[in-house]
Amino acid sequence: MRFLFTAMLALALPACGGTDPRATDDGGPADSLVVEETSESDAVVGDTNASTDARVDAPGDTSAPCVPKTGTANEKAYCDLFELASFTMDGAAPRVELRGRVSLSAKDTACAIVDKVEVQTGGATIATLAGAWTFTSGNEHALLASGAGFEALTTRCTGDTNRFGGFGFVVTGRMDGGTFSAKCADAEGGSRWPPAVRVTCHHNVDASPFSGSATVTTSSTFSSSTLYISVPHGPGGALKTVAGTVHVIPGFSSFGGPPSTLTPFDSTGWEGSISESATPTTYSSISLMNTKSTFPSELCPPPSTPGPTSSPPPVFLTRITGTGEHGAYRTEAYVNNCTRMP
């Protein structure tokens, strides 16, 4: 199930100006801290593009370009769940992609186009990404913008720190009936969980993985862990092997108490297999298994009943490496659901 928690903060945290499609029944204050708990079987409320299986989640839109109907509307859109991804490829210049959810409340949004996204740190614009044109309102995997690599992102990719948060986005575009804009992540001045933005880093892959899923099973006689990651690719970009070491970068919320002090770590002893699928797009599907309970309880907690002071579940990035048709690769998958059984 998906649970929404709202907790009034001592200081107002302004929302990004749009309507939250996941608001609680009583409406909740716009300046609340919004916290979500997500399980693999959940579909995002208000997002008709959300899959019920993280392993086959579509990476974004494939809509043909359209021309928005003109009009005088000027909407402040809702936005969250961004992934700012850095890509390097042997023999090619670094590039950046921004995916995330921008939700428009206008009734007629058959055609919506992102014109540009300003990337900010500390309220100052440090890069401008070209809009990726047509996107589907409410799709959390929508490709919103892309462009050349920039220093602040390259610096993040040299280590494991500051991978959740730290960037703000100002999105502007057009829709049927007018224009829209959204101030997102750090640019909105609010706090969210799961994180409003995550930073992922990739080498010799065509696209960032779909959201991954993990499971830990323990009993008196047996323990195991599983990890599923799917990596979309174009022709000649399939992944062929995966190494037995997974690097883990945890992310914890401070809501409900001090966050865990668990630091990034290497998890060894994994055995993996890779298969190819073409539904809904071409991707390499990676299955990893470990005969140990390799994800600690801080990262993969046992089931619990959420309450008004509960800490929301953690998230983490998993970095895997191996060989593919582009050569030796490394890629990072976002895991927002780790199930511990029993």
Q: What is the pLDDT of residue 63?
A: 56
**Block residue for tokens 């186009």:** 113
Q: How many of the other CB atoms lie within 10 Å of CB of 246?
A: 26
What is Dmax (Cα atoms) for the chain? 66
Q: What is the pLDDT of residue 1?
A: 35
Q: What is the pLDDT of residue 59?
A: 53
Percent of the chain with pLDDT over 70: 80
Q: What is the mean pLDDT of the chain?
A: 83
Burial class of 23 by CB neighbour count within 10 A (0 to 12, 13 to 18, 19+): middle
Edge-to-edge strands, sheet with 192-193: 3-7, 33-37, 192-193
Classify 187 as helix, strand or coil. Answer: helix
Q: Which residue blocks in the chain are alpha helix, DSSP H? A: 151-156
CA separation for the pair 173, 66 (Å, rounded): 13
Instruction: Count Cα neighbours of 200 within 13 Å in the Cβ-side half-sphere.
Output: 31
* For the chain, counts of helices (H) and of strands (E): 1, 20
Quick one: how far is CA 43 from the chain centroid?
14
End-to-end CA distance of the chain: 17
Nearest to 22 by CA among 62, 65, 81, 64: 81
| Structure token digits, residue 11 | 């200081």
| Structure token digits, residue 163 | 């991978």
Q: What is the pLDDT of residue 194?
A: 92
What digits encode the pLDDT tens for the residues 27-83? 333 333 444 433 333 333 333 333 333 333 445 555 567 999 999 999 999 999 999
Q: What is the pLDDT of residue 44?
A: 31
Residue 287 has pLDDT above 50, yes or no: yes
Percent of the chain with pLDDT over 90: 68
Residue 286 has pLDDT above 80, yes or no: yes
- Position 311 confidence tier, pLDDT thresholds 50, 70, 90: confident
What digits encode the pLDDT tens for the residues 218-255? 998 899 999 999 999 999 999 999 999 999 999 999 88
Classify 145 as helix, strand or coil. Answer: strand
